[in-house]
């Protein structure tokens, strides 16, 4: 299985547990590894036969704009389910970072893996 990568994708969303966080947008930074077989696309030089990282990135931005969650964990779980369902992704690794959430850290966040990697 091959991996399509999207790294350091920045999206703005309402995220956080504190009242002040519920009234502002904050930046999340995402890294994704998406399982697929790139051989058909490479053989025919055909985007329609692989995962379109531009379309996936646009969907992630729309997801962030459409939803607000208290927890980064919830954002990650729901986004992973959405991407797997809408793009037919059998396995993914998703890291969601929230920069500046803890003053002593560059970022905090989670990494999840969902699905079966062949």
Instruction: Give the residue numbers marked as catalytic.
Output: 98
Name 32's bridge partners: 6, 94
Using the structure block, give the residue that is written with the tokens 């696309």: 41
What are the two backbone dihedrals, phi and then psi, of residue 41, each rounded to the nearest 5 degrees? -65, -40
Closest to 91 in 3D by CA, of 45, 34, 39, 9: 34
Instruction: Give the Cα separation of 41 and 2 in Å (integer).
Output: 12
Helix residue spans in 2-111 (DSSP H): 39-44, 53-66, 72-87
């Amino acid at each position: 299985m091959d991996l399509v990568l999207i790294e350091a994708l920045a999206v703005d969303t309402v995220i956080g547990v504190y009242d002040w966080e519920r009234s502002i947008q904050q930046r999340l930074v995402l890294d994704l590894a998406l399982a697929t077989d790139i051989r058909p696309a490479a053989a025919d030089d055909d985007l329609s036969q692989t995962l379109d990282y531009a379309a996936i990135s646009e969907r992630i931005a729309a997801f962030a704009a459409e939803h607000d969650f208290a927890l980064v964990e919830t954002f990650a779980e729901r986004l992973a389910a959405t991407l797997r369902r809408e793009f037919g992704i059998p396995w993914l690794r998703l890291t969601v970072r929230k920069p500046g959430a803890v003053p002593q850290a560059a970022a905090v966040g989670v990494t999840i893996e969902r699905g079966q990697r062949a």
